[in-house]
Amino acid sequence: MSFVSLAALSIGPPIHTILVKEKSKQKRFKKASAHAKALLAEPDTRESYQAISKESAVPLFAVTMGDILNQPSILPLDLSQYRGRIGDAIAIQAEDDIGLAEINENIVAQDGTPIESGQAVEIGVRSGEWIYTATKQVALGTDIFIEVKGVDHTGNNTQITENPTVEMDD
């Protein structure tokens, strides 16, 4: 008769590792729950979440918790309309459970000199499609950094930075 040790049969991570990860998740969930309660205590915020809850047929607290626990993101920028001219558009696509509250854009020269900054405007309600309209002329051939920062309704932040060179129309 042969014997196999239980250690040899163990599959997956040790139980201690699982328990530590689970404790961490529970702590994060507890913190998010307290944040959700605080947000829903604010009448304007509660009204916004109630509208989304009703529209999506998802319970109010679940909508709020989802927004807190899920980080927003910004996809690569659409610079096809930007040529360094005043009035040129930079299209921004953002993703979040219920949409971002605001997106700000900052354009700087490669040496760090500020060129312009301002707020993007969302096209529609919770569409995730935003447009920033340039307010300063930038010379062709200038190497710039475009930094876009977004924040959702719960205070979660996201950002993306791209480094294009201002070019002529194709």
Domain of residue 25 covers 12-69
Determine, yes or no, domain membership for 168: no
Question: CB 12: neighbour CB atoms within 10 A?
Answer: 7
Determine, yes or no, domain membership for 5: no
Among 12-16, 20-24, 114-118, the range of highest mean pLDDT:
114-118
Determine, yes or no, domain membership for 84: yes
Is pTM beyond 0.85? Reply is: no
- Regarding whether 89 and 158 lie in a shared domain, the answer is yes
- Regarding whether 157 and 83 lie in a shared domain, the answer is yes
Instruction: Kindly tell me if the per-residue pLDDT of 2 is higher than 80.
Output: no
pLDDT in tens, 76-118: 999 999 999 999 999 999 999 889 999 999 999 999 999 999 9
Question: CB 10: neighbour CB atoms within 10 A?
Answer: 10
Q: Which residue has the tokens 């927004």?
A: 67
What lies within 8 Å, CB to CB, of 27 at 6+ separation is none
- Cα radius of gyration (the chain): 23
Overall domain count for the chain: 2
Determine, yes or no, domain membership for 169: no
Helix pair angle (60-69, 43-56), 10° resolution: 100
- Answer whether 165's CB lies under 8 Å from 141's CB: yes
pLDDT recorded at residue 71? 93
- CATH assignment of the domain containing 92: 2.60.40.1220
Helix (H, G, I), strand (E, B) or coil at 159: strand
- Regarding whether 107 and 65 lie in a shared domain, the answer is no
Last residue of a domain, one of 69, 84, 105: 69
